A and B are shown apart, each in its own frame.
Chain A
Amino acid sequence: MIDSVVFILSIAGFSTLMLSMPQHQRSWLGSTISPSVGRHMRRSGFLLLLLTLVVEIAASGWGEGLTVWFGWETLAGLLVVCANALHGRGKGGARK
């Protein structure tokens, strides 16, 4: 249960981080958004990931919690990367 929360929040965190970057904004949103909003998104993304770390450690303790957390982050990150790759695939030259 707590692990699915960590996993979903991690995907949200990585997605937010990705969308805070101009080259991915162009691909997903069609245009770039203002740098200050981008900065806020970046902070929010990091905060979300930090939150998942806190939740996982609270649930499983330091030793096992950290180990599990790194595993979830890798899985969540790769999912976001794959989604990004498949999204960019059809666009050809539209992406940088």
Chain B
Amino acid sequence: MTSEPPFGTSDTALRPATSGVRQTMSVLHGWTGLIPGWVVFIVFLFGTLAFFQQEISSWMRPEIGRGVLTQATLEKASHILEAEVPARAAWSLSLPVARGGEPLELSWRSGPQGREFRETLDPATGRPITVRETLGGGFLFSFHYNFHYMPGRIANYLVCIASLAMLLSIISGVITHKRIFKDYFTLRLDKGQRSWLDGHNVMAVLALPFHLMITYTGLVTLVFLIMPWAVLTGFPDSEAFRQEFRPRSPAIEVRSDQVAAAAPLRIVSEARAINGELPRYVATHDEDGGSGVIEAWPGLDRLGASYDTIFFRRDGTLIEPATAAGGASKTMGVMVDLHSGRFSGYLLRWLYFFSGLVGTAMVATGLILWVKKRRVNSAAAGRAAAGLWLAERLNIGVIAGSVAGVAAFFLANRLLPVRLSDRGEQEVAWLFTTWGVVFLWSLVSAPKRGWIVALAFGALLYVLVPLVNAVTTARGLFPSLVAGDWVFAGFDLSMLATSAVLALVAWHLYRRPEDDGRAKRASKAR
């Protein structure tokens, strides 16, 4: 590693910073930004998409009609369970959140072998429907911290480390940026590396509160993983802590097998009265008629809402929790709410999404800047570095590859046969295969051509999504616009907008005769 800072500040972009602290911070910013940067990019990209995970799920499950869950549907579900479920058998009721994206799902066990029965109802009409198997927007959400094809725990650790580095990178970046106020509004276009630096700075500074908030609260969601010591000191194991923190079963032993069972509808109403919102999932697991406890999971769609599962006896009477949530637990809950933004209405949701895009673009420009800066230096020194070669390829593979992969995920949802077994996993395979193809392409192509082709490929995939949707479903862009179905129309329009942006960037790169021409001239002039 050279002593030269990977990035200069805006006015020292092309020469080393003079201040000692600032130069140290610049070096720190460069390395804490680069190495975990690719992970951070993925976390930001998929996390940003996850702000719309329910809307994405709605699009990916076109069999579910428009409209929210009605009381009539709930009553129907409750009647089915009352009629079909034998006494003391297990049953469950999965409720869609208010934003939709999921059907109302019932399951129960019946018969001598305890065979499992399932019924899927349209939330608005209550009609039985068959929904294609898909992981939906939930996969994009889960991928942003669990990744895929690896144990979730390891992924969580990687995300933790990357987030810590991101926090370090944000703080060192602010210190490195010495004209933070003077250059607050400065974005010089068509100036090569300086334009990239201006863009990086502007996106970092203008959304700084969001970047800090989302990184910090993201770490809070995984706090027990990175700081387990307090828990391990106070509790024999993490399961004991979990039982105390957010119990999975009631604190007292319950015997209620002799009482008459309450209707599932009543449990739903009671849980709604307690939390001020519909529960997400109501179930009883006891197949042998044991304790007869019914649990209701919280809906989590309200800022500061409770994260605790509510427990009922079989007859529907509430089992009082042993302890109420304390200050620390509530604070953590609010921070997690702030991170996930599940409480937000459409306006705030779009603002979250927009800020997330700015964060994603900031990370991408940072990664690209690192390479651009190094390329100028290595050209000046007349040597090519292996690290630079790799970073350049990783940039294309990760940035353009993941973006293209998401489009393939949506295309797979429409193109794979509806009855395919393991269909959800197949959609995910499309995502990663596409991503992998872009990655391989980046390895064999020259960087500039690699970028252009990868971005154009992404643009093509995104423009195909609304087209394929229009062909394979009756809910294409024009019918949706006419019907005022803003979830479907908004999804298709977002695909077209993404395609346009990717095509514009590819076109812009294609039009530029010499990559980094200005930067090289500036470097020689120094």
Contact = CB atoms under 8 A, between A and B. Distances in A.
Contact of A68 (B202, B207, B348): B348
B342 to A, nearest CB: 12
B20 interface: no
B355 interface: yes
Nearest to A68: B348
Given A71-B348, A74-B355, A82 B187 contact: yes
A41 B351 CA distance: 28
Contacts of B358: 74, 78
B348 A88 contact: no
Interface residues of A, number: 28
A73 B213 CA distance: 15
B206 A74 contact: yes
Given A3-B347, A21-B182, A74 B210 contact: yes
Interface in B191-238: 202-203, 206-207, 209-210, 213
Contact of A72 (B185, B190, B343, B351): B351
B381 to A, nearest CB: 30
B187 A81 contact: yes
Interface string B143-184: 000000000000000000000000000000000000000101
B15 interface: no
Interface string A74-96: 11011011101110110000010
Interface string A44-87: 00000000000000000001100110111111011011101110
Given A21-B185, A74-B358, A81 B347 contact: no
B449 interface: no
B293 to A, nearest CB: 34
A72 B185 CA distance: 16
Contacts of B343: 64
Contact of A63 (B187, B190, B213, B303): B303
Interface string B317-356: 0000000000000000010001000011001100110110
A18 interface: yes
B351 A78 contact: no
Contacts of A74: 206-207, 209-210, 351, 354-355, 358
User: What bracket does the count of chain B residues touching chain A fall in?
Assistant: 20 to 34
B48 to A, nearest CB: 13
Contacts of A26: none
Contacts of A73: 206
Contacts of A24: 185
Nearest to B195: A85
A88 B188 CA distance: 7
B341 to A, nearest CB: 8
A87 to B, nearest CB: 10
Contacts of B338: 67
Interface in B4-50: none
Nearest to B303: A63
A77 to B, nearest CB: 4
A23 B187 CA distance: 12
A1 B344 CA distance: 17
Contacts of A81: 185-187, 202, 206
Nearest to B202: A81
B102 to A, nearest CB: 25
Contacts of A95: 188
B303 A71 contact: no
A84 B207 CA distance: 18
B303 A77 contact: no
Contact of A71 (B190, B304, B354): B354
B347 A68 contact: yes
B11 to A, nearest CB: 10
Contact of A85 (B187, B207, B355): B187
B478 to A, nearest CB: 29
A72 to B, nearest CB: 7
B210 A84 contact: no
B206 A78 contact: yes
B210 A80 contact: no
Contact of B190 (A64, A75, A80, A89): A89
B358 to A, nearest CB: 7
B189 interface: yes
A86 B195 CA distance: 12
A72 B351 CA distance: 7
Nearest to B349: A71
A1 to B, nearest CB: 11
Nearest to A18: B185
A80 B187 CA distance: 10
B348 A84 contact: no
Contacts of B207: 74
Given A74-B210, A77-B206, A81-B206, A68 B351 contact: yes
A74 to B, nearest CB: 5
B240 to A, nearest CB: 33
Given A71-B352, A89-B190, A78 B202 contact: yes
What are the 3 tightest A-B residue pairs by CB atom distance, in nearest-first order? A71-B351, A85-B187, A77-B206
20 contacts: A3-B347, A17-B185, A18-B185, A63-B304, A63-B334, A64-B303, A64-B344, A67-B344, A67-B348, A70-B355, A71-B354, A73-B206, A74-B358, A78-B202, A78-B203, A81-B185, A81-B187, A81-B206, A86-B189, A95-B188
Given A63-B303, A80-B185, 19 more contacts: A18-B184, A23-B182, A64-B303, A64-B344, A67-B338, A70-B213, A71-B210, A71-B352, A71-B355, A74-B207, A74-B351, A74-B355, A78-B358, A81-B202, A82-B187, A84-B186, A85-B187, A85-B188, A95-B188
